[in-house]
Every structure is written in structure tokens, then in C-alpha cells.
Amino acid sequence: MPEIKFYKHDPIPMEMHKVKIVQKLNLLPVKDRLAKMSEAGFNTFLLHNGDIFMDMLTDSGVNAMSDEMQSAMLRADDAYAGSETFYRMRDKLEEIFGIGNLLPTHQGRACEHIIARHFVKPDSCVIMNYHFTTSKAHVTTLGGRVEELVKDEGLIEKSTLPFKGDIDLNKVKACIEKEGAENIAYMRLEAGTNLIGGQPISYANMKEATELAKSHGIVTVLDASLLQDNLYFIKVREESMKDKSIREITRMIADLFDIIYFSARKFGFSRGGGILVRDEQMFHDMEDYITMYEGFLTYGGMSVKEMEAMTIGFEETMDFDVISQGPQFIQHCVDVLDAYGVPMITPGGGLGAHINAREVLSHVPSEQYPSGALVAALYICGGIRGMERGTLSEERNPDGSERIASVEMVRLAFPRRVFTLSQTEYVIDRVKWLYDHRHLVGGLRFVHEPKTLRFFTGRLEPVSDWPEKLAAAYAADFGEDQ
């Protein structure tokens, strides 16, 4: 989408849709938000949605469907086996990616489970540009190891580097030499990299990395869950791709990989997932996992209504106007907060705006989870639910010590076609207020710590009475009912 020019106003992101269905929001008074945060164990995952004003936890499964997606749901074929809905979905994916072998799953982490179970052996290695929480957990649960080989520049919080998700080819070569190609289960490239701020990977880097892997006989895997944002960034930031259409770029990327998987809770604007397998024999070798863990081969645990909707969503993802709104809203949020002096992850990536919690709460030790504390504070100060993406999202080392995250962030996700610019401005305003009162925020400690993926269901408590002091300061400025 080209930047809309204004006669009497600075350029701002424009919604390229009109609203036809609405859902009422609820803004609790600050004292009630404090109580709800305490009840939820200072874990935003455990809040009730009815107690949230702006839900920016994730863009997974919460994106708005278009009118065409909703109308497509009416023609869903409910057959357990041989559903025509499946064949429409498969054919659309083959049209876009050029791969006709589809294994349907109920969501992205099911794809990760199946791929890891098929390829990972004890002590084997999986190369990634950067891990995602579940992609790593599936590998390590099976006794494998993950080597994160993103370029060092990708971990620099404030930067102008356009593709911070690029993998370091020299590190890849060294890893192959050290491990031996036969001990590398596969190379997984994530487009874009969720845990370092939704930062994209360039087409050129994907091409070089996959060529290197294939020269050693290593299977190449693309996590395409956040592909729509990455496609936008390739078109606007990669000079050699500016004259290519989104459909052309997508096919060029697809042609590089042996396996492509996705969460349709992100890619496709619906709820489900799938694995595309290029090699016929490999595809058949993996089929049993679907019937064992997901369902039959023509629904894979998904609702056929959702499958019809996502089939339309795949096509909408090829529309530059559709996929450009998210990155533009995110960049606007990042730019304004950066101008206010709030430490942000720059440049703006996909998925959401990311606050550099390590710098904002420099007085809170990593072992007291500054990202977790900041995201809890933001809910208290505005009813905004974000997500911790830092040390709390890591798992402990074998000796019980904390594995300190490379980057410590709060993610403010922008579900597609959900929030307006005025709501975005509200978020910016409350983040700025919180930053100016950051000295009031303290750390957290666990009172219930699950062994795996603890950030989902763990419960914490503040190390002092800082939440009460923060709420009192907020009420003094905005009133008790805000």
C-alpha cells in the first residue's frame, strides 16, 4: 500500500477496510485491574478476556476475518474423509507455493511436533536463525539441540538494519563442520523471527542459506507463520525485489525449501495449520503422524469452516494492501514511542511493537523478569495486555540457574484488521506514562513454576508492594475510574 498523502496532516497509517461487525470493549477502573492482575498471578496469559481493554497478547487466532472469509465458511464440507474443503485448501496452497503435498494440522505447534518427531534424534542438532519457544521445546524434548545462528547484529536492540533475522552463513558453515551434516536434523528458517522483535529475513539470505544446506544434504524447513509480514518487508526493504509482486516473491521463497509449515492462526487469518512437503516419499513417511496425533488426512484436527476461511485468507495474503497495514501500524507505534524517548526495538518488525524492557527497567535484575514485570505494569496502567518475551519465556539451565534471554522485550501485538489508529494512540499514551514512572516498577518471582513453557501457566508475585504504588500514582494522574 503506498503512503496516503494528506493536505493538512502529517502522514498516518490508513485502515484499508471498513468495519462491519464490532465487539464491545471494557475498561476496568485501575483498582480493579490491580486486583485482576494479582488474581492472575502477574501472568497476562491468565487474565480473563472480559477484564482486558486492549488485547495485544498475540496475533495468533485473533485476527479479524474479511466478509469473503466469513461467507466461505457456509460452504464447508463436513465429511470426515475426502472433504472437498480440504481439496480447495490444498489446491490454493499448491497454487501459491508450488507444493501439492499437504499435511493438515490443528495449529503451528502441531507442525513443529510432527517435523521434530520425524527428523530429530537424541544428540542431533537443528540449525535455526532464531528459535521460537515451541519450536525449540519440541526439539529438546526429543533429546536434540538447537543452534541459534542469527547474525550478531540481529540482537542489537536499536538498529537500522533492515533484515535482523538473517542467519550468519559463516556460523552455519562452522556448525556443519563441527557437527557433521549427518548429525544435523534440519535447518529451520523463521520468516520473521518472533522472539527478537518480529524481525524479517531477506530473500537473498534465505537463498544463500538453503543452497549451503542443500550442498551438504541437509533438509531445509521454512516456518511461514509470520510470512505475510516478511513478504511486506522483502518488497519494501530489499532493493532487488521491489518490482516483484507479493505472489512472485512468495513462490521464489517457496522454491528454496524442502518443507514449509505454518500456523494459520497467523498466516491465513484463521485457526489451523499445515505442512507442505516437496518430496513425495518424505510426504508419505510423515502421513502416519497426522492420523496418529491430529485426525484424518483431510482435516487434521481443524474445523472445515476454518479451513474454508483460511483458503480465502491465503489468497488475501497475496494482496499488498492487506498485508501492509500491520507493519505500518507497528512502525507508527514504534516511531512515536521512540521519539518520546521510550527504548524500542528498531526498526519496527512484524507481529507487534516491541519495548526494550531490559533498558526500561534497568534497575530490575534479569532473574526478577523485567519483561514480565513491565507487561504486568502495563495492564495495571491501561488495561492493555501485552506479552513477555524475555527470560521468563526461556527455560532454566540443567543446573537450575536462569537462562538469561538475549533480548528482554514486551511485545504489543497488532492482530490484523482489529485495532484502529485511535486505539493505537491510546496504547502509545499509556506506554509513555509508564515509561515516565518506570522507577516505581519492581521485579517478580515465581510461586508456581511449570517445568516446560512456564510462561504460559506459571504464577508469580511481586518482590515488593510496587504494584500498589504504581496504581496509586496512576490514579492520581488519571482518576480512580480510568
With 70 as the cut, is the pLDDT of residue 2 above it?
no
At 7, the pLDDT band (50, 70, 90 cuts) reads: confident
Cell numbers that stand for 5 in this block = 498523502
Nearest to 189 by CA among 171, 201, 174: 201
CB atoms within 10 A of CB 239: 8
With 90 as the cut, is the pLDDT of residue 109 above it?
yes
Give CA–CA dist 90/97, Å, rounded. Answer: 10
**pLDDT at site 19:** 87
With 80 as the cut, is the pLDDT of residue 262 above it?
yes
CA 338 to chain centre: 22
How many CA atoms, within 13 angstroms, populate the side-chain half-sphere of residue 250? 27
Strand 352-356 to 459-462 pairing: unpaired
- The runs of H, that is alpha helices, within 216-277 are 227-237, 246-254
Mean pLDDT of 416-424: 92
Mean pLDDT of 277-294: 97
Host H or E run for residue 35: helix 30-39
With 90 as the cut, is the pLDDT of residue 15 above it?
no
**pLDDT at site 455:** 94
* Interval 460-473: pLDDT, tens: 999 999 999 999 99
* Interval 183-212: pLDDT, tens: 999 999 999 999 899 999 999 999 999 999
Report the chain's mean pLDDT, rounded to a whole number.
Answer: 95
Residues 79 and 236: beta-carbon distance below 8 Å = no
- In degrees, rounded to 5, the angle at the alpha carbon of residue 482 between the alpha carbons of residues 11 and 358 is 65
Q: What Rg do the C-alpha atoms of the chain give, in angstroms?
A: 22
The pair phi, psi for residue 448, each rounded to 5°, is -145, 115
Strand 387-389 to 409-413 pairing: antiparallel
C-alpha dist (Å) from residue 179 to 83, 137, 152, 308: 44, 20, 21, 43
**pLDDT at site 115:** 98
* Interval 342-361: pLDDT, tens: 999 999 999 999 999 999 99
Q: Is 7 exposed, middle or buried (0-12, 13-18, 19+ CB in 10 A)?
A: exposed
- If phi > 0 it is left, if psi is from -120 to 50 it is alpha, else beta; for residue 143 that is left
Cell numbers that stand for 402 in this block = 536462569
**pLDDT at site 5:** 83
**pLDDT at site 58:** 87
At 383, the pLDDT band (50, 70, 90 cuts) reads: very high
Give CA–CA dist 470/434, Å, rounded. Answer: 9
- The letter for the amino acid at 315 is E
Cell numbers that stand for 50 in this block = 472480559
- Residues marked active site are found at 80, 132-133, 223, 266, 389, 455
**pLDDT at site 1:** 58
**pLDDT at site 16:** 83
* Interval 214-254: pLDDT, tens: 999 999 999 999 999 999 999 999 999 999 999 999 999 99
The most distant pair of C-alpha atoms in the chain lies apart, rounded to whole Å, by 66
Give CA–CA dist 228/223, Å, rounded. Answer: 12
Cell numbers that stand for 202 in this block = 531477506
**pLDDT at site 59:** 86
Residues 109 and 253: beta-carbon distance below 8 Å = no
DSSP-derived letter for residue 481 is T
With 70 as the cut, is the pLDDT of residue 305 above it?
yes
Give CA–CA dist 96/206, Å, rounded. Answer: 18
Residues 255 and 99: beta-carbon distance below 8 Å = no
Residues 200 and 206: beta-carbon distance below 8 Å = no
**pLDDT at site 449:** 96
* Interval 47-62: pLDDT, tens: 999 999 999 998 888 8
